[in-house]
Each structure stands twice: as structure tokens, then as C-alpha cells.
Structure 1
């Protein structure tokens, strides 16, 4: 891994498109932990997927339909959720919004 990024200032980071048509930027990372921000337009979908990383997500803006292991709830700004390792999960933006996701260990595929 390249040198860890341990400080982040507002507006830093390059937005990159995700395979499902949304946007992502890395905020901070070490070998053990990664923080990433995801932006969705209204109707944007984070397709159902799984990964070995434990994920926690904080809804910074908007409302999302969140599905984890077949269970779906609607969550709004200020809410959060955890995805245990290898569970199938995804989101749908009910309005434009942003998620702040943390992963442990870091997502090497995002670097």
C-alpha cells in the first residue's frame, strides 16, 4: 500500500465514477481502516454486492433504501448502518444524497 492518508481537509479528494453510475472519493486510509464518501443522484443505486470487509455507513445527506442480507429499511440523514463481512447489501437513493463509509480492513480495490 502507498503511504497512509491520515489527515483530510474539506473538499479534498478526487471524485471518481463507480461501476454503478455514482461517485466515490477516498477520504482517509491506513492498512486497517478506510473512509470513503459516496455521492448519489436521486434514484441512484448501489447494486447488491458483498465483500469480506466489515463496513459501517453514515448517511450524511438524503434518504436511502438500504438492504442488508434481504432486510430493507429506509434511512435518512443522521442514520447509520453496519454490514458484517460477506453479507449481500445495496442501497437506493430516494433523493440525492451522500454516504460516508468506513471499511476494515481497507479496500485495496479502491486505491
Structure 2
């Protein structure tokens, strides 16, 4: 692998999919000390419970979800995105099963320790 290729490719093969319980699966897509990108898979009816963290979060919606940010709930669909500021309460429910692509800044070091 050339130096340029290694700079663009974080993983030599597909990263493993982690079963996170509660019908959720997580796959690390890439990270450094400033950014983490993950793919979150939801089984039908799975819920990402309301929580908050110190990170800014930008998410790309692949399937239909009901998302809640600071008490406001909206239905979002394929191609939609959302932004969650640090320390804002947020969560999501996926009635039919689906995927969110989440990015976090700074990096989610807690994801690497789990």
C-alpha cells in the first residue's frame, strides 16, 4: 500500500460490527483524535434511548426514524440529516429497522474503550 493510500484507508478490511444490545449494532467507520464516524444499525422498533454527551454530533439518515432533540420529536427519512449540539438531550426510534451514520467531534474515545 502506498503512503497516499494508507492515509485514506483507516481499515484494511471491513471493520467489525459490534452488537450493542437493545437491537442496536455499531460499526466504526473511521476515527482520529478529532472525529469519529460510526454506522448504527437499528432492528425494527429499536430505540436509541434519550441521552446527552459532550460531543457535537452530525447524523445522516439512511432510513425512516423518529428523532427527538431537546424535547422536540420529528420524523426524518432517507437523505435527511440532523445536528445535535454538545449536551443536548437526543434519541431515536426506528419503526421498520434502519441505519444512521453518526459523526462526532471531538472523537468518541469512549467508543474505543468499550
Q: How far is 1:53 from its partner?
A: 0.3
Q: Per-residue deviation at 1:8?
A: 5.2
Deviation of 1:33 (Å): 0.6
Structure 1 position 20, deviation (Å):
3.4
Map 1:1-111; keep pairs closer than 5 Å: 7=9, 12-60=14-62, 62-111=63-112
Return 5+ residue gaps in structure 2 as ranges.
1-6
- 1:59/1:8 Cα in 2 relative to 1: closer, same or farther (>3 Å)? farther
TM-score normalised by the chain length of structure 1: 0.88
* 1:17 Cα deviation from its structure 2 partner: 1.6
Q: Is the 8 A contact 2:23 2:43 kept in 1?
A: no
**Count of aligned positions:** 105
TM-superposed CA distance for 1:110, in Å, is 0.6
Q: Aligned-pair RMSD on alpha carbons?
A: 1.7
Distance in 1 (CA, whole Å) between partners of 2:48 and 2:87 is 16
The TM-score with structure 2 as length reference comes to 0.85
Higher Cα Rg: structure 1 or 2? 2
Quick check: 1:56–1:83 contact (8 Å CA) kept in 2? yes
Q: Which protein has the bigger helix share?
A: 2
